[in-house]
Amino acid sequence: MRYLIKISYDGSKYCGFQIQNNKETIQECLESVLSKVVGERVSIVASGRTDAGVSAIEQVCHFDTQKELVEDRVKGYANSQLPSDIRIISVERVDENFHARYSAKRKTYNYCFYISESTIPVYEKFATNIGYNVNIQAMRDACKEFLGEKDFSAFCSSNTEVKNKVRTIYEIGITKLDDCLYVLSITGNGFLYNMVRIIMGTLVEVGLGKIDICQIKDIIHSCDRTKAGKTISAKGLFLKKVIY
């Protein structure tokens, strides 16, 4: 039987989602608790891994088991065993054809940032200060250059084995949350390794006047990682939602 679990986590203390030797990861933590709760060794498949320091408002995973589970009991017992920075939102039985990674149609990521001469400690908990002198309107205008189906090789860490780097961005925009606090929201059919952080890093360079909006098309066409902006800090990045 296959079960879908929705989870939410604060990734700031973890070395990312995916299991690594001798490192604290979300997956290791979840598998160890769920194995105990289910009573057999459980392997978790997520919609995608998130990097070290990246959090999720809602991440979707699945696991298989021989046992028929009482969903709410699994949720309650697992939450009582999990650390408070990882929560199971829901557990539900799904068809064996459902796959948390391959069935995902769209994902939305949020990147929280603020624009300030000084550090604002409260915002530092969940956002990155991109500095004082950025032109937020230029950043907003630049967003639309990323819309549509494109080869995003220039916006992918070279540290990847993925061959096909064509992805489609359906929506991208910047919303003001408060005086100097903003969120970039980006929805696509999938994201390459570090793609959101490199897009955000490029938008910051547009805001600083280091990259002109009309250059973005060329950067995309170049398929050259060195032409795009820096990979911005993971702090501020959240997996917001996965749509199936």
Give the nearest distance from C-beta 167 to a second copy in angstroms: 24
Decide whether 9 or 63 has the Cβ nearer to a second copy: 9
| Cβ atoms 26, 14 nearer than 8 A | yes
Structure tokens at 12: 């700031």
Decide whether 13 or 105 has the Cβ nearer to a second copy: 13
3-state secondary structure 169-236: EEEEEEEEEECCEEEEEEEECCCCCCHHHHHHHHHHHHHCCCCCCCHHHHHHHHCCHHHCCCCCCCCC
**Residue where the block lists tokens 């929560």:** 87
Question: Is 224 in the active site?
Answer: no
| Cβ atoms 108, 186 nearer than 8 A | yes
Give the nearest distance from C-beta 176 to a second copy in angstroms: 10
Give the nearest distance from C-beta 168 to a second copy in angstroms: 23
Q: Indicate which residue of 51, 85, 141, 212 is catalytic.
A: 51
Alpha helices in 39-108 (DSSP H): 71-81
**Are β-strands 45-46 and 237-243 bridged in parallel, bridged antiparallel, or unpaired?**
unpaired
Chain positions contacting a second copy, by CB under 8 A: 8-10, 55-57, 84-90, 110, 117-126, 177-178, 183, 238
Give the nearest distance from C-beta 241 to a second copy in angstroms: 8
The catalytic residue positions are 51
